[in-house]
Structure 1
Amino acid sequence: MAYWLFKTEPDTFSIDDLKARPARTEPWDGVRNYQARNFLRDNVAKGDSVFIYHSSCKAVGIAGIATVSRSGYPDDTQFDPESAYFDPKSSPEKPRWFCVNVTFEEKFVQILPLKLIKSIPQISEIPLVNKGNRLSVMPVTKREWEILCHAARAGKA
């Protein structure tokens, strides 16, 4: 099992939106960065744990946890001309973009803010806290996962 952090803008899709979905499951689609795409296609696997991170909002930080319920597969939004994520260079025979399905597990009582995450000495290597390295999908080590879960559940936000 691996650990990940998936960023989302809560005005578009939030931890509450995931929780409200039927079976609390939703495709994590619309990712249009090649490095993040490669993670979704090649590394993120069923059973992996995911922090849902709210960005570009008033309360930036980790909002909760999901589990990957389906490993990487072609993102259907790339084939839909009506979608904001349509890619005319992509085809079902040669898809460029991939997604995974995630299932809601837990919403933290309060968001674990980026400011607090940056203040935890053991979290200094996570890509989230390094400028210029803020992908929408990024790996988290088991130790970072445990530290961040403890901080979020202890109400240190």
Structure 2
Amino acid sequence: MQYWLFKSEPDVFGINDLAKAPEQTASWEGVRNYQARNFLRDEVQVGDKVFIYHSSCKQIGIAGIAEVVKSGYPDPTQFNPESDYYDPKASADNPRWFMVDVKFVSKFNRVLSLDKIKSLPGIEQLGVVKKGHRLSIMPVVAQEWQLLCDAAN
């Protein structure tokens, strides 16, 4: 099992949306960064745990946990000209963008803020604490996963 952090703007899709989704499961669609795409396509697997991280909002930080329930598959929004995520260079024969399905596990009592995360000893590898790191999907090492879960309680 691996650990991940998925960033999202909660006014678009956040932990509350996932908790309210049918069967508390949703597709993590619309990722349009090649490195993040490669993670979704090649590395994120069923059973992996995911921090849901809220960005571009009042309370920036980790809001809860999800679990991957379907590994990478082509994101259909890339083929839909009506979608904000449409990519005219993508085709069914050669999809460019991938997504996974995640299931709600838990919501933290309060968002574990970015400031708090940055202040924790032992959190050095996590992408969100590194200057200029803007990926929407990033790996989390097991030790940091545990430290962050402990800090959220």
User: How big is the alpha-carbon RMSD for the aligned residues of Structure 1 and Structure 2?
Assistant: 0.5
Q: C-alpha deviations, 1:105-132, integer Å up to 9, x for none?
A: 0000000000000001200221110011
* Separation of aligned partners in 2, 1:127 and 1:113: 14
Q: C-alpha deviations, 1:42-83, integer Å up to 9, x for none?
A: 000000000000000000000000000000000000001110
Structure 2 equivalent of residue 119 of structure 1? 119
* Separation of aligned partners in 2, 1:90 and 1:108: 37
**What SS does the corresponding residue of 1:121 show, helix, strand or coil?**
coil
* Separation of aligned partners in 2, 1:15 and 1:125: 24
Percent identity over the alignment is: 62
Displaced runs of 4 or more, over 2 A: none
* Separation of aligned partners in 1, 2:101 and 2:82: 21
Structure 2 equivalent of residue 44 of structure 1? 44
* Separation of aligned partners in 2, 1:10 and 1:27: 15
**Contact 2:125/2:140 (CA < 8 Å) preserved in 1?**
no
**Contact 2:127/2:133 (CA < 8 Å) preserved in 1?**
yes
Give aligned pairs, total.
153
Unpaired runs of at least 5, structure 1: none
What aligned pairs does 1:2-21 form with structure 2 within 5 A after superposition?
A: 2-21=2-21
What's the TM-score, normalizing by structure 1? 0.96
* Deviation of the 1:134 alpha carbon: 2.4
What's the TM-score, normalizing by structure 2? 0.99
